[in-house]
Amino acid sequence: MAKKKTSFRIIALVFIVIILFSSCLSAKSQEKIKVSWIDADGSLIQITYLDEIDNFQERELPSDTEKWHYTDWKIVYSTDLVICVAQRVERIKYIWKNIDGSIIQEKIGVYSEKLTHPEMYDSKEQWKYTGWNKSFIENTCIFTPQRIPNEEYFSGNVFQIVLNDESGTPISTGSGFIFNEEGWFITNNHVMDGGFSASAYFDIPNIETGEDYSKLSVIGGVYNNKELDIFIGKLENYAKLKDNYRNIIFNEKYEIGETTYSIGYPNSSLFMQINQGTLLEEYKDIYSKIYNTYYLLSDSYIAPGSSGGILVNENFEVIGITTLGLYADNSQTVYIAGGAVPTNLFYNRTKNPNELDLKLLNEIYL
């Protein structure tokens, strides 16, 4: 009788365990999956529940604000929890401006987007437009046209000087500047000093010879000043190149800090070079006291061969004649700045030069 009671109890216990296990499975199947939607700043947006993870769908992103643009959700899954964090990027204002500061176009965007720029300016006589400069002011990105001076604009005015000895052998090079359409030019005195004759090479193709330059001869000079380092002379047959002449004027005024361009043939370069810089200061040395002279110091590149070229401002007005380079070492490898004779020290000499006063180089220097 006792054995029958024991068997009955075991069967009853197994039955109870089966019922309890089935209840647990049923309860488990009825549990919800919690979904937390969180903004990028950590604040809670919403909590939702899912019966099954397969039913998960992303909700709409938060609306963009003036400062932020929402891109997507970062989602992390676990057994009974899903965490969704909104991702965002900072919005930025893009502005495209003309050289004069007027606005071409503006838009609101984000840092990471690929931009389509407005159509670039067509290159003009004076300038070549090459791209867009970019600058930031807080959350604003400003684009302005990137431009460089057009060498062709100066090809009828700035030329390379090759100085010859009595046998016609070249002994040195420099640069020169035509300041009127009759072929009168200005350069440094030290460029011409010691020469028997000189030739002028312009970056203008010669149709007759097929060469990529045009060559004229220096007739002579009407003014040379060793202390000021200025020479004024005239070229022969400049009428051949007269169509390339530009009325580039002198300006006796300048401002420290303004943009400058040195134009000439530094290091006896094959073609004209234009180098941008900033007007740094008025530079004086011991000779300034003696001869009442000084230089305009600019970090526009000026090197041997540049002498006699021009230093111009943003309006392409000549504010000086490039004359010397300053270096940090004797080997002239570490460039510091260059000096130009200011226009106000020689401008009066360029007014109405008289051909009757012309002297040959060998009469002036030899």
pLDDT greater at residue 254 or residue 284? 254
DSSP H or E stretch at residue 23 = helix 2-29
Instruction: Give the DSSP letter of residue 7.
Output: H
Q: pLDDT tens across 236-276, in order?
A: 999 999 999 999 999 999 999 999 999 999 999 999 999 99
Q: One-letter amino acid identity for 204?
A: I
Domains of the chain: 33-89 (no CATH), 91-151 (2.60.40), 155-246 (2.40.10.10), 259-346 (2.40.10.10)
pLDDT value of residue 331: 67
Rounded to whole angstroms, how far apart are CA atoms 47 and 365?
96
Q: Is the pLDDT of residue 192 over 60?
A: yes
pLDDT value of residue 236: 96
Q: Is the pLDDT of residue 28 over 70?
A: no
% of residues, the chain, pLDDT over 70? 91
pLDDT value of residue 172: 95
Q: pLDDT tens across 80-122, in order?
A: 899 999 999 888 999 999 988 899 999 888 877 888 898 877 7
pLDDT value of residue 335: 84
Q: Is the pLDDT of residue 333 over 60?
A: yes
Q: pLDDT tens across 303-331, in order?
A: 999 999 999 999 999 999 999 888 877 76
Mean pLDDT of 201-226: 95
Rounded to whole angstroms, how far apart are CA atoms 303 and 265?
8
Rounded to whole angstroms, how far apart are CA atoms 79 and 336?
69
pLDDT greater at residue 25 or residue 296? 296
Q: Is the pLDDT of residue 19 over 80?
A: no
String of b and e for 175-211 (b: at least 16 CB within 10 Å)?
bbbbbbbebbbbbbbbbbbebbbbbbbbbbeeeeeee
Is residue 285 very low, low, confident or very high in pLDDT (cuts 50, 70, 90)? Answer: confident
Q: Is the pLDDT of residue 282 over 90?
A: yes
pLDDT greater at residue 175 or residue 292? 175
pLDDT value of residue 262: 97
pLDDT value of residue 138: 84
Q: pLDDT tens across 103-112, in order?
A: 999 988 887 7
Chain-centre distance for alpha carbon 215: 34
pLDDT value of residue 81: 92
pLDDT value of residue 9: 55
Mean pLDDT of 11-38: 59
Rounded to whole angstroms, how far apart are CA atoms 173 and 101?
41
Mean pLDDT of 270-295: 91
- Average per-residue pLDDT in the chain? 88
Mean pLDDT of 298-302: 94
